[in-house]
């Protein structure tokens, strides 16, 4: 796992996260959303929400700078739920599943 860097996501990662979601959504059971629901605007939207009032981490493959894993969550409205992070989603590239990367994202 030395070639894989877990880190906070940045705005520069949106395209890479979109690419990851496009791949993972094609796998049966890969994501709750189907591949036709994965758009750049959708990824940009949840990334923005995570930046504004939540968390978002990625795992970057340092060999080719691709994103092989992502996790995000954020606060929902109304204010009564301000102490809860929700909408948690995790995605790991199919080629890297069952290798501990999902666990690493949660840690």
Query: What tokens appear for 79 in the block?
Result: 């204010």
CATH number at residue 31: 3.40.630.30
Q: Which residues pair with 75 in a beta bridge?
A: 85
Provide the whole-model pTM.
0.92
The proportion of the chain whose per-residue pLDDT surpasses 90, expressed as a percent, equals: 81
Q: Which pLDDT tens digit goes with each residue over 48-89?
A: 999 999 999 999 999 999 999 999 999 887 788 778 787 899
CB of 22 within 8 A of CB of 37? no
Cα 94-97-101 angle, rounded to 5 deg: 125
Which structural domain, as residue segments, surrounds residue 86?
4-106
Domains: count for the chain: 1
Query: What tokens appear for 42 in the block?
Result: 């959708």
In order of 20, 77, 84, 86, 103, the CA distances from 38 in angstroms are 10, 23, 25, 19, 24
d(Cα 12, Cα 14) in Å, to the nearest integer? Answer: 6
User: How large is the average pLDDT for residues 29-33?
Assistant: 88
């Amino acid at each position: 796992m030395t070639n894989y860097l877990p880190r906070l996501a940045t705005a520069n990662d949106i395209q890479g996260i979109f690419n990851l979601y496009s791949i993972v959504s094609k796998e049966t059971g890969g994501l709750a959303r189907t591949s036709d629901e994965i758009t750049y605007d959708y990824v940009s939207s949840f990334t923005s929400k995570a930046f504004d009032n939540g968390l978002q981490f990625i795992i970057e493959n340092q060999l080719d700078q691709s994103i092989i894993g992502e996790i995000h969550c954020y606060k929902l409205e109304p204010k009564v739920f301000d102490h809860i992070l929700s909408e948690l989603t995790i995605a790991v590239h199919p080629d890297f599943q069952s290798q501990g990367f999902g666990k690493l994202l949660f840690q």
